[in-house]
Chain A
Amino acid sequence: MIAAIRALVRYRALVRSLVSRELKARYRGSVLGFLWSFVNPLLVLLTYTLVFTVILPNRQPDIQPYFLFLFCGILPWTWFQASLAESSGVIIASGNLIKKVLFPAEVLPTVTVLANLAHFLLGLPILLAFLAWKGRLAWTAVLLPLPMMVQLVLTLGLALFLSALTVHFRDIQNILTHVLHLWFFATPVIYSYAAIPEGSPLRQALRLNPMTHVMVTYQQVLFHGHVDHWRGLLLALLVGILAFAAGAFLFDRLRDTLPEEV
């Protein structure tokens, strides 16, 4: 794991330029260009708001105004979900690099995660603006980097794991879409974790999901303005470190097989 971190530090110039290339290339040729980074989360938000305030209204009192609560969860979830979905195919897609150039493969999933982090950061001002508009912006917002760090470690670990394994088992790309879908509903993004009765089996199950704790912390920091989920976040951090270690280990084990299998 230490070696993996050291490698990523060594290749930081490469990572940096590839991330900026990702960002530049993504919206090249579209009319709105960079604005899409802002418009995308807004459109997702619009859809969910429509569903959960008009079609299936969510009237839990502690999470009103609902669209704002939703926004606090959707934005980080999009980062998580897009990172994993993209990283599973990223090594196959860059087969040319892996096969023909001496190229540190772990850079590829890392770039995917960081590029999506950049999109997250671009969407953040809009969220903060909405929070300020609704008078919800509290001092706790300065704690935002904490859940972000935990999420980054966890996502990187899973991305390393998935990207290497997908080269050998292409099925993962297909399964992953559905797993992520289920995971979305198993994470309190569209509903409130606090509203689930203490001790219920559902709550027990949600506790096992590291993203639950990350998400609850986001919501507390941004939406509720008070933070008391430290133990959960610490647990998520431990799981994240474990995931990173496992991801780095598997990636290293499979590294030499990648150029042959891509």
Chain B
Amino acid sequence: MTAPAIVARDVSKLYRRFAHRNQFRTLKSALLTGSVLSDLRPEETFTALDGVSFEVPRGTTFGVIGENGSGKSTLLKLVAGITKPTRGRLAVDGRVSALIELGAGFHPEISGRENVSINGIMLGLTRREVERRFDAIVDFAELRDFIDAPVKTYSSGMYMRLGFAVAIHVDPEVLLIDEVLAVGDEAFTRKCLDKIAEFHRRGKTILFVTHSLGLVEKMCDDVLWLRHGRAADRGDAKRVVDAYLTYVAGGEDALLQSQQAATADLASTPEEPAPQATPGGAAPATGYRPGRWGRREIEIRGVRLLDARERERHVFVPGETVTLALSVHAREPVEDFVFGVGLFSAEGTNVYGTNTDIEGFTPRRVAGDAEVRLALEGLSLVEGTYLLDLAAHRRDGTPYDYIRGLHSFRVKSRLKDVGLYRPLHRWSFAGGAEIVPPEPRGELDLGDDPGA
């Protein structure tokens, strides 16, 4: 491969934050004490990024995930060149276009046509280049009829579309995207995604900052997870997203736990029950804490989530068939064993649990390598992240290998219904009720490649 498109070496960014007494310091006092320039030096700093290093090879799509305030947008601004790193080195090779704020710099009073040309020049095109791309931009934004109206008359969707259209037609070598795909209707979002996929096919480099983990898994080759300004993990998209999801669930759990600890202190009941062995058992009253335990007489060596076409995925839509495939290994033949699966919401609510013992299977023998599959037919869950408990244990509950909350999957849905469980259902109306049914729309198709 050629040289990487983006290289970050130990990049740190400090934001200054004034101490309280300086907050009200004004020019007058600065002049009186002759400290104009010294006042412009940071007094107290806030570290937004702390020693982050990564490389983005040319032609790859690189995702950045993390909680709010973890430094994602700062990183993007650094790569865009809007701000400079306080320490470290950051090099970007090739023309950069940043979809950070669409239509920044549009002037409301003048027409879309004039704004396109000025915005294009702002983003680094020459006047002639803008003219050549003008038709493509307007067609992409679907604003042919409104292009001569002042931008202030545009709806926010039209505004964003025009902004996106200009930015994408700058034809950058490196495209930076910050959570901008939430704009516009679904058709336009899809068009944007198609355009981004086309960029990818043409060998351009894309840096992608988003909270939409499904999109990250789908589109990114590599993912960087930022936590409090540091790189918490980076690498394979699925692995990092999984690690992040686990962390997020754990984070909420830790919060819950500390609250419970506070009440527990008052009640002074220090004894904590041992982890319940059977996933299908009553949901533990204490918080849901990811972990793994057991002596591994039977070891769960691999977990795969498969769709109906036997492809490994982490994002599913309701109604799909999801097959959990566990690769297990027994060092020595074991005759007393139960396999169990538990399904938890991100908040730690037990959605479902079952095991082979509950369902009346009689164990005979497991030895060496084996595969255990559980097919969940017609996934009846609403949108959200779900965590899995996977277990092999004795019939009396003693665990061999218990993996709690370390595997997860997401359910994405067009319908924003609430709760956890979505039964197969159908509305019907009779008598005086008059109601228009929605246009029939299929569920999201996550199985296809974005560009296809």
User: Can you name 4 extra interface pairs (CB under 8 A) apart from A101-B104, A169-B30?
Assistant: A21-B114, A100-B98, A172-B27, A254-B40
* Interface check A124, CB cutoff 8 A: no
**11 A-B Cβ contacts within 8 A?**
A17-B118, A21-B114, A96-B104, A101-B101, A102-B82, A168-B40, A172-B27, A175-B27, A253-B37, A253-B40, A260-B83
Chain A residues near B84 (CB-CB < 8 A): 256
Pairwise interchain contact B101-A169, C-beta atoms closer than 8 A: no
A98 to B81, CA, bound (A): 11
Chain B residues near A24 (CB-CB < 8 A): 109-110, 114
Closest residue on chain A to residue B31 by CB atoms: A169
Pairwise interchain contact B118-A21, C-beta atoms closer than 8 A: yes
Which residues of A come within 8 Å of B, CB atoms? 13-14, 17-18, 21, 24-25, 28-29, 94, 96-103, 165, 168-169, 171-172, 175, 253-254, 256-257, 259-260
Chain A residues near B127 (CB-CB < 8 A): 13, 17
Chain B residues near A165 (CB-CB < 8 A): 27
Pairwise interchain contact A28-B100, C-beta atoms closer than 8 A: no
Pairwise interchain contact B121-A14, C-beta atoms closer than 8 A: yes
A136 to B121, CA, bound (A): 44
* Interface check B105, CB cutoff 8 A: yes
Least distance between B118 CB and chain A CB atoms (Å): 5
Contact of A102 among B96, B107, B110 (CB under 8 A): B96
Pairwise interchain contact A101-B121, C-beta atoms closer than 8 A: no
Pairwise interchain contact B27-A101, C-beta atoms closer than 8 A: no
Pairwise interchain contact A259-B150, C-beta atoms closer than 8 A: no
Contact of B126 among A13, A18, A102, A169 (CB under 8 A): A13
Pairwise interchain contact A101-B81, C-beta atoms closer than 8 A: no
Chain B residues near A99 (CB-CB < 8 A): 77, 82, 101
Instruction: Decide: A171 near B109, CB < 8 A? Known: A13-B127, A102-B82.
Output: no
A168 to B31, CA, bound (A): 13
A169 to B15, CA, bound (A): 18
Interface set, chain B 27-44, CB cutoff 8 A to A: 27-28, 30, 37, 39-40
A260 to B82, CA, bound (A): 10
A175 to B101, CA, bound (A): 33
The 5 nearest A-B residue pairs measured at CB? A100-B101, A169-B27, A25-B109, A28-B109, A100-B104
Which residues of B come within 8 Å of A, CB atoms? 15-16, 26-28, 30, 37, 39-40, 77, 80-84, 96, 98, 100-101, 104-105, 107, 109-110, 114, 117-118, 121-124, 126-127, 150
Least distance between B209 CB and chain A CB atoms (Å): 13
Instruction: Decide: A103 near B114, CB < 8 A? Known: A28-B109, A169-B26.
Output: no
A259 to B13, CA, bound (A): 13
Chain B residues near A14 (CB-CB < 8 A): 121-122
Chain B residues near A96 (CB-CB < 8 A): 101, 104-105
Chain A residues near B80 (CB-CB < 8 A): 102
Pairwise interchain contact A101-B40, C-beta atoms closer than 8 A: no
Chain A residues near B150 (CB-CB < 8 A): 28
Pairwise interchain contact A25-B104, C-beta atoms closer than 8 A: no
Closest residue on chain A to residue B42 by CB atoms: A257
Of B15, B40, B82, most buried by chain A (CB within 10 Å of CB) is B82
Instruction: Decide: A259 near B77, CB < 8 A? Known: A17-B127, A102-B82, A102-B96.
Output: yes
Contact of A101 among B39, B100, B110 (CB under 8 A): B100
Chain A residues near B124 (CB-CB < 8 A): 102
Contact of B16 among A17, A253, A260 (CB under 8 A): A260
Chain B residues near A175 (CB-CB < 8 A): 27
Instruction: Decide: A102 near B104, CB < 8 A? Known: A24-B114, A25-B109, A169-B30.
Output: no
Chain B residues near A101 (CB-CB < 8 A): 82, 98, 100-101, 104-105, 122-123
A257 to B124, CA, bound (A): 22
Pairwise interchain contact B118-A18, C-beta atoms closer than 8 A: yes
A212 to B101, CA, bound (A): 45
A253 to B36, CA, bound (A): 12
Least distance between B87 CB and chain A CB atoms (Å): 13
Least distance between A93 CB and chain B CB atoms (Å): 11
A169 to B121, CA, bound (A): 31
Least distance between A262 CB and chain B CB atoms (Å): 11
Least distance between B154 CB and chain A CB atoms (Å): 15
Least distance between A181 CB and chain B CB atoms (Å): 18
A132 to B40, CA, bound (A): 53
Pairwise interchain contact B100-A100, C-beta atoms closer than 8 A: yes
